Chains A and B, each alone.
Chain A
């Protein structure tokens, strides 16, 4: 009767041997002392069904000035290699209001992809987004429902697609972070910086957040994610228990579960057909009275349980076998409640729900022109309605839904613990949620990513790529040496007359040396600044010799700023360690700078509530 094979699988990642890592990080030196750092994922080959594709997913340009010292490294562009420019048809379709369908799928992309983010200048995208938001509100919206609706839909789809790719990249980075072997290529501090900046790029003013806040942001995000996963894991397990269903958490190796499946046992179904069902938070129909399950011919699995109800491998002594029917797939990272992503009895149910949510939003904002900023009464009503719905556990956060969908997509693409047939079934059902015309089929993304990576490598090695790097370095040097007004004038000049010519064949040694000095100086300043903010006595929380090195480096720096001297002076005043104080005093003597009078006494009371924990890229 069963069309699908009854597959015997180990239940959960706990029974699997330690699989080889799903992600690896590779470094490729490129022209003139820079390097491309690329994260590769082991993905399914849709043709063979095996997991043997080594797919480049994310690349970062690290300008290391040709050495291995991270103190003078500068992270620059980030490319998400699965992200592509839309085809003309995708572009056209993405302007159609209420057009919730995938407009084909891009199979090849041989051009260098656009960077998702410039880590050296993260604020740039903020102003661009604000400008286009303003343009929408002031110029397009008043032009009537047709223009308003079309432009808003187009921009919305474009933004959603970017976010989808960013969320996928974040999932990748999160998993890379859990495998410390990768830190030799991409240090933890740099990985966290990339993660934080990418994540902040999905916030309106995220690009304006200062570097010294990134560590706190990352920690907060990580803790929040762990809390949300645990909360949803437990919520779903308890609801499964209450309703007599079987709960199966799904996790990447060494990670916490990010997705979960609910199953029902066929024998339970036959034994208790009229069981009470409390569907709150599950968003699925009552399985106990569902005729479709009584005559289920879809996918099922044979599972084994010991007397304590622990899932065990087949053949375990005393284990009982049960045939299990999958009911639903949930994402555990959606805030407060597990988000239904696939319903095995009603494939289109999650899609319908998502279409209704997006459709309502498009109707109100796009067609009727009611925006939260433009209509105070609508704003109040919307806030109240959203609050009540959210309080009752409804998934009202569009961005978080997108993130959940993107995570599940990324999870299924690299997961090796699931039965391939089940994985394929889940991917097929998840595909129904692809409502954005710009989105490509996940099976084509691997090819696209490899082609774009190849193009990127070619570009990086080309004179054009080298020239771009040199231009960026020149601009960086300007940022150290020129006033903001002068830099603004220079950019205007570049706008009209173009970039100055740079010979990519010739390495500018002086430029490198100056950049190296400035970067190191900035690095040490930042280190001491955050150290002083984190503790009233820096040498208590950090190795004194490392602090001495920074002090010595700053004192030896001919370009040292007054701020650097002030920092050294403060370190001197706050230190309790004799050698460190001596180093500081020598440095101050060398620079002819005085001790900071207010802090001259060791052990003075710190200012109220400094940053709790420093995190530096050392």
Chain B
């Protein structure tokens, strides 16, 4: 017994990290704080204070906690997709700050809080739009892992419910100051924008004293806002110092709380920021480009007004859809409200998602106008009618499939609506305080909201199907009987099916300058009758006249990315600088990726893909070959890049390069939407397929990535900095941990190993003892912070 005692004591000591106990997690969510800026400011010693410029972050995280030095955004470095990964730990379902449904024109405006608040006040909404999408896909948020009464969630993108008390108390608290204080503020300028954040902080600090609260978070977009507007060190430092002071207050409150020893404080950002002191980020107006004759003279839909700060309409907080008509439109002049032909999501600004109307719809529309034109040459009209059916016949099999499948899915949806309606009717109209505290009222309202959403889906998809059905049942003789209305044959505000590579290389933007042309045999000459655009070379060859910054090139566009079925993700920088990113599943369920340099990829009308292999050289997309930071010897690079490697191998090889984890992020970005888990019930399967289809329909034709220090913002100007691309400055985010004595968070630790967004939730779950849940997620927990327990510890 006596000889055992020292050993027991030693074992007990060694077991402390394993027996770590975390009863509460506090997450400070920082929009857009880049690791490089944080590092710079943490390392800087203020000559006056002789402390770090960020003294609290230095004390809490750098000295007293763990920093993950190489933490990256997975997928594009954009808030909505990035927070969806950080808030769920699941693969990407939401691909932009705004998305559009190609069939219905519906805008998924994830960043707009106002319709949500109004809808919530009218009992028509209960969650932010992003949460609704994730709920449809049956993907839980991190907060859903905790009991409803045990969470405190601040205002953010993936928000469930609204706490009116916060808003109600915010203003009175803001103004409950001495007259002198108010006079000072009035003269200096009231900062009403931070009112809600201040109130949220008050509430969070108060909640920390409640030991039943297990999860708290606080979101701030202050730094992101400042860094978009100004690249100067002083402004960004001040924004970070505000965050630092916040962390000081929160940490102090945690130390004074009953769960101090068992509380973990985490600071995480959703992306970095491509910002450089002394340099302005330059905007290129893609809206003007697509409006222009050269760009196809499209009527373009965006989710916000361009230059909204200079428009009275820009004050409308509920706007989610704005059509900018093209004066140069070749066949739809003045019809932009009914027939926009391009949808753009430009948010984030270093990339743009482009949805173009299916080129076949354009062809049909042009032909229909010719057919309906009074005084049209009869021979040309006959040829146009024949051509019209030629186009339909070219798409008949796939359209028939679409019609049949969606009809089945809508049938299941209607039956689900009936069941949901009956269930909603059974819910109580009044809720007790206890029920509200348990979140039951919100759960019931969620059902009502879903029912409304289903009704809308049923209506809009049915409308699209009606037109498709009409097209498929149309006979040439129908044109002789009566004039066919455009809206009966061309769906309004719909983009139709995604464009193929062939479509985008031969995109029909209007009739030829000389109009439709007959071939010698009297048929329509399809080659010469239409004006076409090949988008990839056109976009990547754009240059600007004004280039006053030596560090910025004259080409705004870096490369384009799109999926090529059965070939991979096609990256296009120039005709001779292209690549295919290919993936394959391994026998053990893992994924391997390969980067294949190619040139001259094109698709024939019959759908076959052609390209030539190319030797890696400087200038290919993602510029890995010439990157000094690529962790592969120069002599082996060509072979290495052309070979299959696991995700982990890629990550270690490329994370320090200029495009950081671009390969992995692109793979994540273009992952096809998952079909959600469902029961064996046939209707459940159809509904899951319908939701998966809706996700697929929200995918753009292609993504455009900006060159370094370029952006595509059209709403306003972002000279300070931008994000959205795979450039390391934009993807390199922050992740910091600190914890009380019992949490086992190591002190003064810097983790060099690279991690990405998918590691965040499993790490939190591991820390809080939810090992089984963590194991189901695709990401690996950060072992340096939360070592995986031995199998006997996993429940």
Contact = CB atoms under 8 A, between A and B. Distances in A.
Interface of A: 11-12, 14, 200, 203, 205-206, 208-210, 213, 216-217, 219-220, 222-223, 226-227, 230-231, 233-235, 237-238, 240-242, 244, 246-249, 256, 280-281, 308-311, 336, 388, 391-393, 534-537, 540-543, 546, 603-606, 608-610, 612-613, 616, 618
B205 A608 contact: yes
B202 A608 contact: yes
A246 B205 contact: no
A322 to B, nearest CB: 11
B286 to A, nearest CB: 12
A609 B256 contact: no
Contact of A603 (B205, B252, B311): B252
Contacts of B545: 240-241, 244, 246, 309
B794 interface: no
A613 B226 contact: no
A234 B198 contact: no
A388 B315 CA distance: 11
B31 to A, nearest CB: 17
A609 B184 contact: no
A210 B546 contact: no
21 contacts: A203-B187, A205-B186, A205-B187, A209-B184, A222-B235, A223-B234, A223-B235, A238-B717, A242-B288, A244-B545, A246-B546, A310-B548, A336-B310, A392-B311, A535-B245, A536-B248, A542-B49, A603-B252, A606-B249, A610-B245, A618-B48
Contact of B187 (A208, A233, A534, A613): A208
B235 A233 contact: no
Contact of B183 (A205, A234, A542): A205
B55 A249 contact: no
The 9 residue pairs across chains A and B that have the minimum distance between CB atoms: A230-B719, A543-B50, A536-B252, A309-B547, A234-B717, A223-B235, A226-B230, A227-B229, A234-B719
A233 B719 contact: yes
B280 interface: yes
A336 B717 CA distance: 11
Nearest to A601: B256
Interface in B518-551: 543-550
A237 B546 CA distance: 7
B312 interface: yes
B184 A226 contact: no
Contacts of A311: 548
Contact of A216 (B173, B188, B234, B718): B188
Contacts of A534: 245
Contact of B232 (A11, A208, A226, A610): A226
Given A11-B548, A609-B201, A612-B238, 5 more contacts: A14-B549, A234-B718, A238-B283, A540-B51, A605-B209
Contact of A308 (B256, B288, B554): B554
A220 to B, nearest CB: 7
A217 B249 CA distance: 23
B411 interface: no
B672 to A, nearest CB: 37
B256 A605 contact: yes
B248 A537 contact: yes
Contacts of A206: 187
B198 A609 contact: yes
A318 B67 CA distance: 49
Nearest to B58: A540
Query: Which among B49, B226, B234 has the greatest number of chain A C-beta atoms within 10 A?
Result: B49
Contacts of A240: 545-546
A604 B256 contact: yes
B187 A209 contact: yes
B72 interface: no
Contact of A309 (B201, B281, B546): B546
Contact of A310 (B48, B56, B285, B547): B547
A193 to B, nearest CB: 15
B610 interface: no
A618 B56 CA distance: 21
B364 to A, nearest CB: 31
Contacts of A222: 234-235
A472 B281 CA distance: 51
A200 B49 contact: no
Nearest to B238: A219
A603 B282 contact: no
Contacts of A217: 188
B51 A609 contact: no
Interface residues of B, number: 65
B137 interface: no
B205 A605 contact: yes
B255 interface: yes
A612 B245 contact: yes
A281 B285 CA distance: 16
B678 interface: no
Given A220-B188, A391-B311, A608-B205, A237 B56 contact: no
B168 to A, nearest CB: 16
B730 interface: no
A540 B56 contact: yes
Contacts of A542: 49-51, 55
Interface string B278-316: 101111010010000000000000000000011110110
B661 to A, nearest CB: 29
B248 A223 contact: no
B231 A230 contact: yes
B253 interface: yes
B352 to A, nearest CB: 16
B59 interface: yes
Contacts of A281: 310
Contacts of B230: 223, 226-227, 230
A216 B248 CA distance: 19
A227 B235 contact: yes
A618 B278 CA distance: 28
A391 B309 CA distance: 7
Contacts of A233: 280, 719
B245 A616 contact: no
B189 interface: yes
Interface in B230-264: 230-232, 234-235, 238, 241-242, 245, 248-249, 252-253, 255-256
Contacts of B205: 605, 608
B546 A609 contact: no
B340 interface: no
B621 interface: no
Nearest to B186: A205
Contact of B241 (A230, A536, A613): A613
B7 interface: no
A244 B547 CA distance: 12
A200 B186 CA distance: 12
B719 A231 contact: yes
Contact of A540 (B55, B198, B226): B55
Contacts of B312: 388, 391-392
Interface in B681-720: 716-720
A231 B228 CA distance: 10
Given A223-B226, A603-B255, A248 B548 contact: yes
Contacts of A247: 546, 548
B439 interface: no
Interface string B2-19: 000000000000000000
Given A536-B248, A606-B249, A309 B285 contact: no
B553 interface: yes
Contacts of A242: 285, 288
A12 to B, nearest CB: 6
Contacts of A336: 309-310
A471 to B, nearest CB: 29
Nearest to A312: B550
B241 A612 contact: yes
Contacts of B309: 336, 391
Nearest to A576: B59
A308 to B, nearest CB: 4
B717 A231 contact: yes
Contacts of A310: 547-548, 550, 554
